Chain A
Amino acid sequence: MNFSLTPEAQAYRATVRRIIAEAVTPEAIDRMHSTGTFDVPELTQALAREGLLERAVPGRGGGDPIELWLLFSELEKAGAPYDGISVALMVAGVINAVGTEEQKERIIPTITSGQALVCMGYSEPDSGSDVAAATTRAVRDGDEWVIDGAKMWTTMAHEATWLILLTRTNTEVAKHRGLTMFILPMDTPGITVAPVHTMGTERTNATWYDGVRVGDDAVLGDVDGGWRTMTVALAFERGVMGGTNAGVPLLRHFRAWADEVGLLDDPTVRDHIARTAIDNQVAALLTMRAAWIAATGGLPGLEGSMVKVFATEAYQRAARAFQEAAGPEGLLQFHEPGAAADGFVDYDARHSPVTTIYGGTSEINRNNIAERHLGLPKARS
């Protein structure tokens, strides 16, 4: 096996690192945690200016999976926000794969220029893991569609220009067959956004749709073909575009602090550090593998599930171990005097629980691996 990056990939990574170092200042990270909006516009715009967003769109500007992986792992390792960028690039990739020419011209450039963010309306109050059970209705009325319903966890809805929305257009067929995806501007009349605050500083939203009217140009993919559009989207998301390196900044922050306060000689602390370093390296290698599979023409869905389950659970183990090792200082938040790792120990302990939930829970990913990778008989549910 060969684990070397090509000189081009190394140069790409160096560019990404430079941009991150310039745009992601401690102030920007601080702002992101105090506002709950996990986006740094300076970063998105800098990436856009250097053409890296255009270049990263799957199936478009090369969309090289190795580059996508490098981009997101560098962002994650730096503790920079990447959710906004990953949703935007993923949606640009979906539009590129199933959208009309008109949609490609109208929407993609607003994303790749770093002006527009996209939010994702899949989950609903009563459907999360069972995402195909969505009940938000889109009904034909003349030349238009009228959308009514509610979505939950519409992260970035308060900042986004575009919304990608999963709706039900047919109630007479099996649940996967009656879905249609829309892409519409967030300022379309009839959309309401209310904040949902979380335990881990990040803000998300509940959104409501009340007689929202759009034309056919808002249909993304085929009418009643929304599940296929979803599948395309999920294939981009899993494994490569973030969510598998959170243990790296955690270890970096904790190690520096432990050194400062003289904890680095403690055998238990050293044991946790050794374990976390191994888990971080395994997570990186499994992520690299997903990227390599995608780069060689495969769809790393199952490998993405494997790395997501492993990396998020390892991150939780590490967050817990380090908080316990830090003692009371591990309870102190950002900016409190004496806070372990300037508050990151508290932050990671708060943030890590969500990582096994969003983007497909660990159970959903294990179901995937059990049935589609190991070939076990379908579970009765």
Chain B
Amino acid sequence: MSAVGPGGAEGIDLSLDADQQAVAELFDGFFANECPVSVVRGAEPLGFDRALWDALGALGAPGMGSPEDQGGGGASLADLLVVAEAVGRAIAPVPLVDHLVATRLFPDEELISGELVGGVALQPAAADGTWRLVPTGAVADVVVGVDGDQVVAVRSEAPGSGPRNHADQPLADRSARAGERTVLGPATRFDEALDEWRTLTAAALVGIAERSLQMGVAYATERHQFGVPIGSFQAVQHLLADLPGLIDGARLLAHRAAWAATLPVDQRVVDVDDNEFTDPTVLASMAFLFAGEAAAAATDRSLHVHGGYGYAEEYDIQLYFRRARGWRLVAGPPAAERARLADLLLGPASTPSPAPAGAAR
């Protein structure tokens, strides 16, 4: 979105614009109909539902984020955030976030139409050309990622299965070398794609957190103990009352990251001392980290409020709990991401393995 808000009015506007509201309603409605939680469960353990993917294709979702002159929907990153949040709310077993990011970098016709599924390798290929644990590796027809000093798109047959994992995600190793390989440019071209992945995944995690909070509130209202709803116990109330601030904060950060990506490069500010950040890379990292914390907290607490039932497979909160971790940790340890953020904020550390705190003086 430009620096001029919806309707041409300038100044702060933290609402979704009319189009985005319509998109949110469309996707929430779509997932409510096409992706009840039985679909999520039915797609386990692979974590991919082909029929749901095809239905999304019919909506034009796979190409939404690609330029219109290439047959895409021309949606902005901010618009896609709204879609990613809906995916998170429904924990839909479709790799839409990864596909959108791959397709924006590699606007292949069959990816835009959704005939092919796209994915991104979040870590560079190892020396032998293996992309380890690609989040969509079991199902993606095309994987985009870094190999050496280049970013490449590799089309090859998806294995269709992968290691069983915490979140029932279609994780699998893929090769950056075997298959039909297109060189997209120098490796640095992938940086922006990773920023987009972090920003969109932040939104998906916001969706997970929001729905988990709703489930906790609903359960606390229905469930009675000692003759009263458990939601009238202050200890229960306060577990849940922290969450709206975390969720709203994460959503605002993700949208700020998307907004910052539209600013001219010479207006990008990183000022820790003044708490002023308009750099999309910094904000994407912050949004991803903070949304990850919010989703972890929301699922922890909501599950806890469900008591023993929260631990039972039959209850849905466990599905959210596991995805809140899986969708985040595919990118690596949060501490490593915070170290990267610190480098962006402070410049790189001058000594690689410094003495422990205090010893320097």
Interface of A toward B, CB cutoff 8 Å? 1-7, 9, 66, 77, 245, 248, 251-252, 255-256, 261-271, 273-275, 277-278, 280-286, 288-289, 291-292, 295, 303, 306-307, 309-310, 325, 327, 329, 363, 365-367, 369-371, 373-381
Are B342 and A271 in contact, CB atoms less than 8 angstroms apart?
A: yes
Interface of B toward A, CB cutoff 8 Å? 1, 3-6, 10-16, 78, 213, 217, 220-221, 228-229, 231-234, 236-238, 240-242, 244-246, 248-250, 252-253, 255-256, 259-260, 272-275, 277, 283, 286, 289-290, 335, 338-339, 341-342, 345-346, 349-351, 354-358, 360-361
A268 to B14, alpha carbons, bound, how many Å? 35
Chain A contacts of B242 at CB under 8 A?
A: 309-310, 366
Are A327 and B357 in contact, CB atoms less than 8 angstroms apart?
A: yes
Are B358 and A327 in contact, CB atoms less than 8 angstroms apart?
A: yes
Are A5 and B252 in contact, CB atoms less than 8 angstroms apart?
A: no
Assuming A252-B272, A278-B290, A374-B217, is B237 touching A5 (CB within 8 A)?
no
Are A277 and B231 in contact, CB atoms less than 8 angstroms apart?
A: no
Assuming A3-B12, A66-B12, A379-B233, is B342 touching A263 (CB within 8 A)?
no
Chain A contacts of B246 at CB under 8 A?
A: 310
Chain B contacts of A248 at CB under 8 A?
A: 273-275
Are A285 and B220 in contact, CB atoms less than 8 angstroms apart?
A: no
Q: A1-B16, A1-B256, A376-B217 are in contact. List 10 more A-B contacts (CB 8 A).
A: A1-B259, A4-B4, A6-B11, A66-B11, A267-B354, A281-B277, A285-B253, A376-B229, A376-B237, A380-B232
Question: Chain B at the A interface: mostly helix, strand, loop or mixed?
Answer: helix
Closest CB of chain B to A323's CB: distance in Å? 12
Closest CB of chain B to A64's CB: distance in Å? 10
Closest CB of chain A to B238's CB: distance in Å? 5
Selected from A6, A282, A291, A373, the residue in CB contact (under 8 A) with B244 is: A373
Chain A contacts of B231 at CB under 8 A?
A: 370, 376-377
Nearest-CB residue, chain B, relative to A278: B286
Nearest-CB residue, chain B, relative to A381: B234
Closest CB of chain A to B69's CB: distance in Å? 26
Are B339 and A270 in contact, CB atoms less than 8 angstroms apart?
A: yes
Selected from B12, B238, B249, B345, the residue in CB contact (under 8 A) with A363 is: B238
Chain A contacts of B272 at CB under 8 A?
A: 251-252, 255, 273, 277
Are B232 and A378 in contact, CB atoms less than 8 angstroms apart?
A: yes
Selected from A3, A273, A325, A377, the residue in CB contact (under 8 A) with B259 is: A3
Are A255 and B346 in contact, CB atoms less than 8 angstroms apart?
A: yes
Nearest-CB residue, chain A, relative to B290: A278
Q: Which 10 A-B pairs have the closest CB atoms?
A: A370-B237, A306-B245, A2-B5, A270-B342, A282-B249, A366-B241, A376-B231, A285-B252, A265-B354, A274-B338
A5 to B213, alpha carbons, bound, how many Å? 32
Are A4 and B339 in contact, CB atoms less than 8 angstroms apart?
A: no
Selected from A281, A289, A329, A363, the residue in CB contact (under 8 A) with B286 is: A281
CB<8 Å pairs between A and B, sample of 27? A1-B256, A1-B259, A4-B3, A5-B12, A6-B10, A248-B274, A251-B273, A252-B272, A264-B349, A265-B350, A266-B354, A270-B349, A271-B342, A277-B341, A281-B286, A306-B245, A310-B242, A310-B249, A329-B361, A366-B237, A367-B234, A369-B241, A369-B245, A370-B238, A374-B213, A379-B237, A380-B228
A381 to B350, alpha carbons, bound, how many Å? 56
Nearest-CB residue, chain B, relative to A308: B245
Closest CB of chain A to B212's CB: distance in Å? 13
Are B358 and A1 in contact, CB atoms less than 8 angstroms apart?
A: no
- Which has the most chain B C-beta neighbours within 10 Å: A1, A275, A282? A1
Closest CB of chain B to A247's CB: distance in Å? 8
Assuming A282-B253, A285-B256, is B357 touching A266 (CB within 8 A)?
yes
Assuming A4-B3, A376-B240, is B252 touching A286 (CB within 8 A)?
yes
Chain A contacts of B221 at CB under 8 A?
A: 375-377
Chain A contacts of B217 at CB under 8 A?
A: 374-376
Closest CB of chain B to A283's CB: distance in Å? 8
Are A278 and B252 in contact, CB atoms less than 8 angstroms apart?
A: no
Chain A contacts of B250 at CB under 8 A?
A: 282
A330 to B203, alpha carbons, bound, how many Å? 38
Chain B contacts of A245 at CB under 8 A?
A: 275
Are B13 and A310 in contact, CB atoms less than 8 angstroms apart?
A: no
